[in-house]
Amino acid sequence: MSPGFAAMLDALPFLWRGLLVTLSVSALVVVLSLVAGAVLGLMRVYGPPVLQPAVQAFSDIVRGIPVLVLIFFVFYGLPVVGLQVNSFTSAVLALAIFSTAQVTELARGALQSIHHGQNEAAKAIGLTFGQRMASVILPQAARRFLPAWVNSVTDAVKGSALVSLIGVGDLMMAIQQVIGRTYQALPLYVLGGAIYFAINYGLSLLSRHCEQRLSYYQARE
């Protein structure tokens, strides 16, 4: 057995712990940004006119900053304003802010793609805002939102590798630590790449599956 392969095998239990951190960072980011992004997307399209440009400005600005800069900004900046949080929390916060901006934009696109006549018709038959959203707008918008959203989940998993740079013990950090001990750089980067690939390729297959299912339903309408 080559030393590279042996190092890969030996590293597996250690990488597993890193992988769990990567998965929990990603999962937290995905859930937080889905909720916040959906709310902001609704505010952007149906909110009070003063809030709409504010939401747009938030998402435009955040999407214009490199994720790495945002992570450093949050990590080094929070203690300055008196908030002592650990690196895990600031990593999740920074990635969630970034992902929220993406989700807001996706939600806006999906909501605006529904013809305004639908909303007006629902108003005309006396549905309240909540009813219009729940039974007319959201079911249609969700279909257009879903495939693009799965892509943003992939981006969140990929972006989570950057949190190793502020000391979070994720998969990327675990790979670096194993390389530091074994000097088997190439085999371990290949192994790490394969793990990230498996997660993200799985997600993109899921996205394609969703897309096919949803377009099937749309074609039948």
Residue type, 68: L
Closest distance of CB 197 from other proteins, Å: 5
Residue type, 94: A
Closest distance of CB 127 from other proteins, Å: 31
Kindly identify the residues of this chain, within the stretch 25-64, that bind other proteins according to CB under 8 A. Answer: 61, 64
Torsion of CA 161, 164, 170, 171, to 10 degrees: 60
By beta-carbon proximity to other proteins, the closer residue of 55 and 191 is: 191
Closest distance of CB 123 from other proteins, Å: 27
Secondary structure of residue 161 in the 3-state scheme: helix
Q: Is 219 in the site for other proteins (CB under 8 A)?
A: no
* Residue pointed to by tokens 């435009």: 60
Give the Cα separation of 6 and 41 in Å (integer).
49
SS (H, E, C) 182-217: HCCHHHHHHHHHHHHHHHHHHHHHHHHHHHHHHHHH
Count of residues near other proteins by CB under 8 A: 38
Q: Is 189 in the site for other proteins (CB under 8 A)?
A: yes
Kindly identify the residues of this chain, within the stretch 53-112, that bind other proteins according to CB under 8 A. Answer: 61, 64-69, 72-73, 76-77, 80-81
By beta-carbon proximity to other proteins, the closer residue of 89 and 176 is: 176
Question: DSSP per residue over 127-141, as a string?
Answer: --HHHHIIIIIHHHH
**What six digits make up the tokens of 167?**
């000391």
Sign of the CA dihedral running 183, 185, 191, 196: positive
156 near 95, Cβ under 8 Å? yes
Closest distance of CB 39 from other proteins, Å: 24
By beta-carbon proximity to other proteins, the closer residue of 64 and 130 is: 64
Question: DSSP per residue over 99-111, as a string?
Answer: HHHHHHHHHHHHH
Q: What are the backbone dihedrals phi and psi of residue 82, each rounded to the nearest 5 degrees, phi first?
A: 95, 10
Closest distance of CB 42 from other proteins, Å: 24
Closest distance of CB 19 from other proteins, Å: 13
By beta-carbon proximity to other proteins, the closer residue of 145 and 196 is: 196
Choose one: 36-44, 45-53, 101-109, 186-194; the region binding other proteins (CB under 8 A): 186-194
List residues near other proteins by CB under 8 A: 61, 64-69, 72-73, 76-77, 80-81, 154, 157-162, 164-165, 172, 175-176, 179, 183, 185-186, 189-190, 192-193, 196-197, 200-201, 204
